[in-house]
Structure 1
Amino acid sequence: MFEYRILESDDDLRRLVSLRNRYFPDNPVTLEEQKGMIAMLPARFEKQRWGVFSEGELVACFAIEREDPLEEGREFLFVMTEESVSRQDVDAFVQRLLELGRDRGSRSYTAMTSSLRPELRSAWEAVGAEFKQENPVSAIDLREWDIPAEPVPGVTIRRFDFLNEPEALQREHYDMFWEAMLDVPWPTPIVKEPFEEFVDYFKAPLGRQGRDWVAMEGDRILGMSQVRPFHADTGNLGASTGFTGVRKEARRRGLARALKCHALQDMKAMGRTMVYTDNEENNPMYQLNLQLGFRQVHSLFIFTGTL
């Protein structure tokens, strides 16, 4: 009934992007951005993207990649489906993905799905996956928002054009990012990537589309906020905020709020309308976003399980 194959050709990837942008309407990408994400992922993760075809049409996609630390034998698993796919077929797709993980010799997995497809959550629960956390996806309408950024004494907040900054500041940005990133709630260990791989992100189309804001005290970066206006080719005049974080020593000084306001004002000045983000439901950043005017639109659910 279904044909399963690894997605490799431009035509396959174009279909993948179309399905992905319907599954994630609040975070669309272009074909070139998708290809850039594929190219920048280090080979050690052995990521595969499988398509499920019915009568020549792509009806679902699997993604499977190894998670750091690699010696723990864990995979990150993800399934996207068309709305027309039946619950029975969704169950079969999840089982097929688990088989792929076992065939790769892995022992456990992390899986993510969206409340926009409740049948996928049910399918993961049916195979014994354990629910670990909920990340509300929230949005703000910039046409109805205009909160100025409050100054923070002794701190300069400015745009940070990563590839055109001195290497010393690039490394300062990298160190600050990972100091804060390791505090982000996630059910499995977060592993710091090498500096060279961090730089590769900014060279890729998706990274070049982004705009970073940093809070600086002298030459020291205390915090940052990322925002990515969606590419014009997606037909979406929105944007998504990526990571916002502050060094431990500089927290509770209003830096995160000021950085977010600068990033949102930047998007408003560019004529962007809706801005989307997601945070773990107990993360203080989620409460800050609600204070700024973000409102939940759906959720991401994260599970873990054994193979």
Structure 2
Amino acid sequence: MSQLTIRPFERTDEDYQTVISIWNAVWPEDKADVDHYKYRDETRNPKYYWQRLVVENNGRMVAYGIYCETWWSPRPGKFYFNAAVHPNFQRQGIGTFFYDHVINILQQQPEFVALTADTRESKPESIQFLTKRGFEQVMRYPISHLHVPDFDPQPFEKAIQRVAASDIEIKSAAELMENDPDWLKKVWQLEIAVEEDVPSPEPTKIQPFEEFVKILDNPNFFPEAFLLAKENGRFVSTSTLWKSKANPDKLFTGLTGTLRSHRRRGLATALKVKNIELAQSLGIDIIETDNEENNPMYQINMQLGYKPQPAYLDFHKKIPDES
């Protein structure tokens, strides 16, 4: 007879290895690794409530999940929830057991007003789980893959030459770290400006600079592919790629964006092409990116040869809710 229990996650090698194995079994196309989990745990802002729990079946870990304040949102009382149940133990009520436990905890918070969650279109059972409990889809982010060996830069030569003939310089973080002591502060300022136009269900908080600098400690930081377009000493556009220890043949796109004053000049395309050529030289197979479906960047990616994959879906539930 199965007996389900819940306990806090412990930062031991055994717990890290087990939660990673569960995640990778649930999301084989988006694997994680212990080093990245440890980095996130070590650099998380303690100002915001965050908790990872594990579910055990007769003492064996079979699921885990988190619930936390949405530090990226300015709305007080808004929390995020996520859970992963090992495929061998799905459809046995474990997700419901975990969800009910989290809801009971959060309902003790007097400021609890909203709960968010996400999944992908390829997980119909997860979508059903959320909608059955009163969640509504609020945003869709198509994922796109570029098969790097097939990329041909020739159609984009004119755009690249136009940028090269201008006053724009393209520099990588690897280069800037050597000769510009203020490069990271300038990147932070650029990202604040660019992210104002990134589609989101609601306005997002500005990340303090002392939090932003922690990207340098991220084990997946790839300074050679962290590209900036620079004009008269000012960064005006950026496009970045990130490594993944768990997915060595794959790179992941970070933020790509351009200041409003410098748009429609081919800067984002030039930066992306340069990074794709770098990926080709490294033997990378896939570059993955995601964009809100109405974001113009999505169309740029399609023009570059990216192919749509099942999208990420954001869900939102208002509290109180009788569902």
**Structure-2-length-normalised TM-score:** 0.87
Query: In the alignment, what sits opposite 1:122?
Result: 128
Q: Is the Cα contact below 8 Å between 1:132 and 1:304 reproduced in 2?
A: yes
Q: Which amino acid aligns with 2:98?
A: F
Query: In the alignment, what sits opposite 2:172?
Result: 159
Q: Distance in 1 between matches of 2:314 and 2:113?
A: 18
Q: Is the Cα contact below 8 Å between 2:172 and 2:224 reproduced in 1?
A: no
SS in structure 1 at match of 2:152: coil
Q: Within the alignment, does 1:180 sit opposite 2:197 as a pair?
A: no
Q: Is the Cα contact below 8 Å between 2:74 and 2:204 reproduced in 1?
A: no
Mark the CA change 1:290 to 1:208 in structure 2 (over 3 Å): closer, same or farther: closer
Q: Where in structure 2 are there 5+ consecutive unaligned residues?
A: none
Q: Distance in 2 between matches of 1:210 and 1:43?
A: 31
Query: In the alignment, what sits opposite 1:171?
Result: 185
Q: Which amino acid aligns with 1:4?
A: I
Map 1:34-73 onto structure 2 (within 5 A).
34-68=37-71, 69=73, 72-73=76-77
Q: Distance in 2 between matches of 1:71 and 1:184?
A: 18
SS in structure 1 at match of 2:204: coil
What root-mean-square deviation, in Å, do the aligned CA atoms of Structure 1 and Structure 2 show? 2.2
Q: Is the Cα contact below 8 Å between 2:172 and 2:223 reproduced in 1?
A: no
Task: Give 1:92 deviation, angstroms.
Answer: 3.8
Q: Within the alignment, does 1:272 sit opposite 2:284 as a pair?
A: yes
Task: Give 1:19 deviation, angstroms.
Answer: 2.4
Q: In the TM superposition, what whole-angstrom CA distance separates every residue of 1:101-152 from its partner, at most 9, and x where no partner exists?
A: 3234422122111223211111111111121011111111112113256131
Query: In the alignment, what sits opposite 2:91?
Result: 86
Partner of residue 235 from structure 2, selected from 200, 218, 221: 221
Q: Is the Cα contact below 8 Å between 1:48 and 1:64 reproduced in 2?
A: yes
Q: Distance in 1 between matches of 2:253 and 2:75?
A: 32
Q: Distance in 2 between matches of 1:39 and 1:164?
A: 27
Q: In the TM superposition, what whole-angstrom CA distance separates every residue of 1:152-171 from its partner, at most 9, and x where no partner exists?
A: 12211121137556342211
Partner of residue 293 from structure 2, selected from 258, 266, 281: 281
Bigger Rg, which one? 2
Q: Within the alignment, does 1:257 sit opposite 2:263 as a pair?
A: no
Task: Give 1:229 deviation, angstroms.
Answer: 2.5
Q: Which amino acid aligns with 2:237?
A: G
Q: Which amino acid aligns with 2:168?
A: V
Mark the CA change 1:78 to 1:300 in structure 2 (over 3 Å): closer, same or farther: same
Mark the CA change 1:65 to 1:115 in structure 2 (over 3 Å): closer, same or farther: same
Count of residue pairs the alignment pairs up: 305
Q: Where in structure 1 are there 5+ consecutive unaligned residues?
A: none
Q: Is the Cα contact below 8 Å between 1:21 and 1:29 reproduced in 2?
A: yes
Partner of residue 193 from structure 1, selected from 197, 204, 207: 207
Query: In the alignment, what sits opposite 1:14?
Result: 17
Query: In the alignment, what sits opposite 1:294?
Result: 306
Mark the CA change 1:296 to 1:81 in structure 2 (over 3 Å): closer, same or farther: farther
Instruction: Using the aligned pairs only, state the percent identity.
Output: 24
SS in structure 2 at match of 1:296: strand
Query: In the alignment, what sits opposite 2:4?
Result: 2
Query: In the alignment, what sits opposite 1:102?
Result: 107
Q: Is the Cα contact below 8 Å between 2:177 and 2:183 reproduced in 1?
A: no
**Structure-1-length-normalised TM-score:** 0.91
Q: In the TM superposition, what whole-angstrom CA distance separates every residue of 1:9-60 from its partner, at most 9, and x where no partner exists?
A: 2211111222223444444332112100111110012211112222444332
Q: Distance in 2 between matches of 1:41 and 1:165?
A: 29
SS in structure 2 at match of 1:271: coil
Q: Distance in 1 between matches of 2:129 and 2:122?
A: 14
Q: Within the alignment, does 1:207 sit opposite 2:234 as a pair?
A: no
